[in-house]
Amino acid sequence: MAVPSDAIALFVQHRKALVDYAASIVGSRAHAEDLVQDAWMRFDDAARQRFVNEPLSYLYRIVRNLAFDGRRRKTLEGTFFTKDDPEDAATVSIDQPSTPEAIALHRERLARMIAALAELSEEHRIAFEMHRVGGFPLREVAAKLRISISHAQVLVMEALQHCKQRLR
Query: pLDDT digits over 4-58, tens only?
Result: 567 788 888 999 999 999 888 888 888 888 889 988 888 888 888 888 888 889 8
Note whether 17 and 70 are same-domain residues.
yes
Task: Give every CB contact of residue 11 below 8 A, 6+ residues apart in sequence.
Answer: 18, 40, 43, 59
Higher per-residue pLDDT: 160 or 99: 160
The reply to whether 12 falls in a domain is yes
pLDDT at position 86 is 46
Sign of CA dihedral 13, 17, 23, 25: negative
Task: Enter the pTM of the model.
Answer: 0.47
Q: Which residues constitute the domain of residue 109?
A: 100-167
Into how many domains does the chain fold? 2
Look up the CATH number of the domain holding residue 151: 1.10.10.10
Look up the CATH number of the domain holding residue 47: 1.10.1740
pLDDT at position 122 is 92
Higher per-residue pLDDT: 162 or 92: 162
pLDDT one-digit tens code per residue, 131-162:
888 888 888 899 999 999 889 999 999 999 99
